Structures are given as C-alpha cells and as structure tokens.
Structure 1
Amino acid sequence: MNKKTSITTLFCMALMIVMFSYLVSPVITYANDTETYEVSSSTLNIRSAPSNDSRIVGQFVKGNQLTTFKEQYGWVQTYYGGKEVWVAKHHLTPVSTSSSASTSPEMKENLTVTVAAESVMIRAGAGTNYKNTHSVYQGDEFDVISSEGDWYQIKLQNGETGWIASWLTTEVGGVVSEETSSSSQENISNPPQQQPASSGSLAGYTIVIDPGHGGKDPGAIGIGDVQEKDIVYSTSNHVVNQLKEAGANVITTRSGDYFVSLEERVRISNDYQTDAFISIHFDSFPLLSVSGTTAYYAHKDDQPLAADIQSSIASSVELTNRGSMHANYKVLRDTNAPSVLVELGFISNQYDVSIVQTNDYQQRVATAITNGLIQYFK
C-alpha cells in the first residue's frame, strides 16, 4: 500500500466513524432557555431516564406546572425532589405566554377593583410565569382595562398598565356590558377570593410550622456561603406572626438554632390536634440557573393544600412558579395532619438568593402561606 492509498483509507475510516457516531448518538435538544409546561393528563409518571422501561420515581398530577431544560426522543428533563428526572412530553401543555391587552367583550364597563391581600405583585402578563413589574398593597384601587382568564389588566397610578390576579382583589363597581354572556359574567363578577391575612379566618385552627434543618444541620449552602437554616428560621418567624394575626394557634418544631430530628418533628405535630403541618425550606441545585418556588405533598389528599399554598405564593412573589409536586419526604409521609413542604427559592441561584434574604420577600411569603391556608379551610 503506497502512502497516498494509506492516507485515503485512513480518511474514509475516520469519516465512517463520525457518521456512525452521529447515527447512534441520542438526539438531544438543549433549549436556549427553560420552558414551562402544565400536566394535561390525570397522572404522569416521573422516570429516572427518558424511557418507558426506566424506573418510576414519582408522579405529577393534572395541573402541576414544571420547568424543562432538555428534550430527547419525545421526553423532557425537569427536576423532582432536587434531582434531574424525565417525563413524556405528550402529556404536557405549554404554558401560554400570550399577553394580549385587547379589551374583551366579556368585560364589565367602568370596573374598579381593590387589592384584598396585604401585598400583591403586578405582572407583565396574565399569569404567574410573567415577571413582576410593580408592587401594590391592600386597599389600593385600580381601574380595570381588560381581563384574561382569572387576571385583570389594570391602569396604575403612573399611567402604566399591568396584570393582577383577580382572586386577590374585590370589585368596587362596574356595569355589565350588553355583550357579556351569562357564563362569562359569572367568571368575572365572582373571581375566587383570597382573604387578607389579618381577617382572622384561621381562628380555631392549630397549625404546625416546621423550620427545616438547624444546629449541626445547616441544610443547603448557597451562594456567598448562605446557610439554608438561617433563612428558614427568619422566614418561619414571619409565617408564625402572620398566622397568629389571622387567629391561628401556632406550634413550631424549633424555636432557635438547634438540631431537631425528623422523627421529633413528626411527633410534635402528631401529639396535637393539628389541622395543618407546613415545613419551611429553601432549595439548591448544581445547575445554577434553576430558580423558583415549589410545594411538595406526600399523600394525594394533601395535594389541594399544596395547590392552594403554591398558588398563593406564586401570585405574591416574583420567583418562578414550579407548581405543586409529589415527594416522599418523611415529615410529609408520617405526619397525620394535611402536610406540605414548601421550597421558597433556590439559594444556589444568584437572583433567588438576593431576593429571599430580604424582609420584604419573607413577609410576602408569610402572607401568601397564611392566605393559602385560609383558602384551603374555606
């Protein structure tokens, strides 16, 4: 074999190897940005790998929202219990990012609404997946320009516009347009109401607040060496105060920076006639772009409580809404009362950690959790 033939042969072999690698390599699409989806089927298995033969590690239920960052063979990768998992994409519906501001024929004319919750985020569009643009407070009144689903577009005092969740407002006035249908009128005139935390609506209920970690257990270590146990404790104090203002009898599993075992946390709750158990946490993940809040539940009967609390949090803070999800945490699995574990932001994310340490954010979360419990016990 001469030198020329040898070079040609080597080139052909290299080309064949490249083509073979291309053919057998999995087709993976990396999104330039994360995508948000809602589960459309009644239940959706969560798997350890993108295959129907892979291990099932949990389940999502209809209405859960999740953020995806990778796609392969009709499967998308997301997070569950802080780990990378896979779900079949055909069971998901993209969360709409449409923000059309055109006046709907289902609107009331001259409608004015009052903010009912203590503080509410105004969004750039009609949904919790939009970024917040302003903050408004209980008692503030605004003229409604249009509506989309359960959201009102309002005119702010500075002349700008924004979107507010209708269930965090009460109507001051308005005349029904002649074009409004009866079914649509009912949706606009009777939005689901969330009472302010100071309404006293939790009188007679016993709530256990479980500040996660403590003492020798710092929890997650975030950017700037922020320790989860410290943010958890300060946030929990705000929650306790808001619940007491709402009339609840509040029990905490720890009242300082000391270690409490999972068994002891469960025992404290089970020893009382507890109406709800709320465990407070902050999240962390190696992929630093991961952000947002999540509410976890272990038992199917506890999913409505998780959904109410997560919905209230998502409507009150500016972080990504990761929805409510199933998880087999011991404090949820073994506690007799309806139980939820909330992850209130990722301290591994630069944006989240800058927000969650502020007094304003922790107050908003406390109000949101209180309002979520009020909604649940209605």
Structure 2
Amino acid sequence: MKNIRFFTFTLGTSILLFLFLFIPVGHAESGQTYEIGASSLNLRSSPSHSSEIIGQLAEGEQIVAFQEAFGWVQTYFDGEEAWVASQFLVPVDKESQTQATASSEMITVTSTDVRVRTGPGTEYSVIGYTTKDDTYTLLETTNNWHKVALDNGKTGWIAAWLTNPVSSQAAPQTETNNSAVAAEETTNGSLAGYNIAIDPGHGGKDPGSTAFDGSLEKDYTLSIASTIAKKLQNAGATVIQTRTSDYFVSLKDRVNLSESHNTNAFISLHYNAYPIMTVNGFSTHFYSNGNDRILAQDIQAALAKYLPLKSRGVMRGDYHVLRENSDLAVLVELGFLTNPNDLAAIQTADYKNAVADGIVEGLMDYFH
C-alpha cells in the first residue's frame, strides 16, 4: 500500500514537472495592446479562474500585455501585476493604434475640482476629481460629455463645457477675436444646458420678515435674485425667476412655474429673523435626503467660502416649495435681518456678489 501511494505521488509530481518545463510561456511582442471583447472581464491576481479578483475591465478598454501563459495574459492594474483570460482579448493592430494615438485630440480642464464620472451624465457615479489645466486624451464625445483616458489606465467622463481643446488654448488670440472668445465663454459656461429656478421669497402683500431698521425681507430677496440670475446666465444657465418685481406669488404657483420649465434645480431665497438679536448666520435647507441634501451641502459649502457670516450648516426644512416640489430643490436663509452685524453685511453689494458666486459654485460642484 505504501509503495502504491509513493508511486502515485511521484507520477503526479512528474506530470507537474512536465507541465512546468515543457508547456511554453509566451511573451507578448514588446507591449502588444489588446482590446477587451467582453462586456466585463475580471482581472485576477494569478493565471487561474480560482484566483482572487482584483479589478474589472469594460468592453472596449485596452491593456498592454507583458507575457502570456496557459491561456492568460499578464498586464498591470493600479501598479500591480494582473492576469486576464486571453480568449476575451482582441489584438489591436499596431499601425492603426499608432494612427489613432497620433490623431487623438487633447483637452484641458478649465475649472477646479471637476468631477470624473463613470458615464456621460450627472446620474453616473463619481470616480475621481480633476483640476484646472489638467490635460487628457479625448476618446469620444457623447451628449456633451467627453470620455478621456485617465492616468491609472482607466477611462472616465468629464463635462465637455468644463474643457477646451489644447490646440485652441495654445493659439494666439488677436484683438479681432477677443470679443468672440468672450462670447464663447459666456454661452458655453459651466452650467450650459441647465435650467435653474430662482425663487425670491415673499413679495407684494407678503412682506416676509422685518429687519430691526424696518426694512423688509421681500425687498432683499428680490434684489439679490437679480444678481444671482446674472451670474448664473454668465455661467451658461437658463434662469427662471418666480417673480421679477414686488408682487405676490402663491407657494403653489412658485412650484408649478418651476415644474413647467423642466427645472434642474430650484433655489428659494430667504432671510431669517429671531427675537434674540445675537442669533446670526446663514443656512441651507432641504426636505428629503438624497440629491436634495447633497445639493444643499454643496451650496452651503460654497457659500461658506465666500460669505463673512457664520455658517449654520444644512438643515431639514418642511417648506411647501421643497416638500411639494418634484424638482431638485433647496432653500437658503442668507442671514438674520434681526442681527445688526448680519444686516450690515447683507446691505452691501459685495455680499450680494459673494452670495451669487457661492450659489453658482455650489451648483457647478453638484452637477459636475
């Protein structure tokens, strides 16, 4: 019995040695490029279907092979050795690959903290961030979004209106084309294609809160709404205002007006009041968790960068214009009219411009 067991062991060992010594391990030709021919392909830690999965590749993505063994191709993924099954790979012709690379367009990012997403739209998840003047190879364009090659070998999507072709940036600008460039920057701004509803709170027979000096909330919201609207339009957005002068608009009509314009975001403008004069600061309110809360956080964070007042953070608010609104909606309280320091700031042009800058930036942060 012992002899039989020994014979079995030595025969198995001999087979393994034969496989190791005589099955060839092919080396791909100096960096051969392959394209993924399956909808999803696992990257594994070693050339075996039972080995650990360390990543995934999507159809159309490309890898560079460094060796082949037992029906597997070795490449690198996030700096680590990885293996993929060779039957799902399509060799890329080197001549066409060189031509594609030579003719591919380069783009550069024109804003800071631009979000890189998994697909061409804001509904896709964020996989990273880029910043101003970063340059990428353009792979394709879909629905005003650019697919680009990332530094880690993967791909991602960036909003096209936040980029410029490298060639157009490098070209010298003459005096005759300066106005055209300025017009292009205005019409192709960061919020191009978005409908934004601005809702100046109160109005007409509804004065809103009263400041300690007797001034009225309805006048402050209307005044700052026009400043915000102009800066949003300069960023490329289409702006809908629920009122443009001192007249009464019901809460229901405000929501209906927004919903009738396919609004991407609804922002209601207000100023706070409290019997205790020391209470101060600004806040952003949302009704439901999810996208409403995320937008509120982005706007509050951006306002905090610009405003000299205390940030009170984001809060859940059961307001009609938020609760009954099917659009993405937030409400901002831009300071306390009953606080002398807040009111002094609120009454300045600098404060209005700072609020407008913060809201534009917050919307760009959310949508991109």
Q: TM-score normalised to the size of structure 1?
A: 0.48
More strand by share: 1
- Could you say which structure has the larger radius of gyration? 2
Q: TM (normalized to structure 2)?
A: 0.50
Instruction: Compare relative contact order (CA 8 Å, sep 6+) and give the higher one, 1 or 2.
Output: 1
Structure that is richer in helix per residue: 2
